Structure formats: C-alpha cells, structure tokens
Chains A and B, each alone.
Chain A
Amino acid sequence: SYEVTQPPSVSVSPGQTASITCSGDKLGEKYASWYQQKPGQSPVLVIYQDSKRPSGIPERFSGSNSGNTATLTISGTQPMDEADYFCQATDSDTVVFGGGTKLTVL
C-alpha cells in the first residue's frame, strides 16, 4: 500500500521560514493536502491540491509538490503556528496520511 513519510519534528525561530516535507513514491503525480492540529483540537485543512489555501488560512502558508516530495512552507512563522502538521495523499480510491511533524517555534 502507498505510504508517505514526514520528519517527526521541525524547529524554527519566530519570523523565519519553516519547511515541512512529505515524501512518497511519485508523490508529485498525485495531489497533496496538509492539516494543522493543535493540542486537544481537530485537524484543520491549511493546503489542498498541493498549493491552494482554503478561505481563512493566512497567506504565510504555502505548498508545493514535485517529484517524490511535497512541501508545506510557513513564511514569517508565528508562535501560534506551533502545532502538528499532517500531509495527506490519495492513492486510487484510498487515503493515506503521513506520520505527522511537530513544528516547534522557539
């Protein structure tokens, strides 16, 4: 079955750019989506179809997908962005999530 892999953790200083990767075989030929989850809360969609932002998601969130890697980029990272981030892809008619990346802003 298809799998996608994320780094367990990423650290960034406030105001800097954070990049979170999601790797999978020929992932660039599929669409990737990203979800933010803060402690005790439900996940929130922040990027869909590789690079589209839902209404209400700040412009500092952006995404790309090429080759075997999708990337979520947070520009000008703020302390409120500290959270777990999960990538998601679709293979045939099934859905797969990455293992999640804990973003620490310090």
Chain B
Amino acid sequence: QVTLKESGPVLVKPAETLTLTCTVSGFSLSNTRMGVSWIRQPPGKALEWLAHIFSNDEKSYSTSLKTRLTISKDTSKSQVVLTMTKMDPVDTATYYCARMSTVTTLYFDLWGQGTLVTVSS
C-alpha cells in the first residue's frame, strides 16, 4: 500500500522556521518516474505548490517563496523534508506532501492526509 504522511509542529511563532517531514511507504524515493512535492492550502482557499524534489535530487521551488524554502530527501529513511523560514500568520495552512509522477508531465497521483500548521504568537 502506497502512503505519504506529513509530520511536524501544529503551531509555530512568527519569524520562526517551520520544518515538515513527509514519510513515504510503498514506493522508493529513488524511483526515476516519481518525485515528491509539498503543496499547501490556507483555510478555505486554493492549493499552492511550494516545491518538489526528483529522484536524482534535482529540486524546484515556487518563484514567490524560493528564498524561504529548502527541500531535501533521505532515501534510506523514505523521507522528504521541507523547511520554510520566517514564518508569518499568512502561512497558516494545511501542508500536504504528494507523490508526483514525472512521466511526460508532472501531476500528483497520491496525497498525504495533510497537516494543519498555525502561525501565531
């Protein structure tokens, strides 16, 4: 069974750094046909892609957030980690990790349950 599960703090203070971990099972992060993305969704709002990482460790970031984001992976642990610096209340959102197919084009065929992160002092 293929699953992705996000973990991390539910509450962070403004200006702090957020670190989220996506633990995957049922597939390998070394699979060349797949990658993993982080996507967020503020309450009641649209999905926003943040970053993704491919099996060869190539990375891509949202243009508007790239200065604040770092994505990395540990294939042996089946984990993908996202860090976001300088958190602000507008960053309050549900953060999802998703498996990304890289065949022909990029799309997300499996999503984690999401983790709600609230930014507040």
Contacts and interface: CB of A to CB of B under 8 A. Distances in A.
A42 B113 contact: yes
Interface string B86-114: 00000000001010010011111111111
Contacts of A100: 46-47
B74 interface: no
Interface in B46-60: 46-49, 52, 60
Interface residues of A, number: 23
Interface string A70-95: 00000000000000001010100111
A94 B62 contact: yes
B60 A93 contact: yes
A94 B112 contact: no
Interface string A34-66: 010000001111001100001000000000000
Interface hub of A30, A35, A94, A95 (most chain B Cβ within 10 A):
A95
Interface string A15-42: 0000000000000001101010000001
Nearest to A90: B106
A93 to B, nearest CB: 4
A10 interface: no
A97 B46 contact: yes
A1 B63 contact: yes
Nearest to A45: B109
Interface of A: 1, 30-31, 33, 35, 42-45, 48-49, 54, 86, 88, 90, 93-100
Q: Which 8 pairs show the lowest CB-CB distances between chains A and B?
A: A31-B105, A95-B49, A33-B107, A42-B111, A97-B47, A93-B60, A48-B107, A90-B106
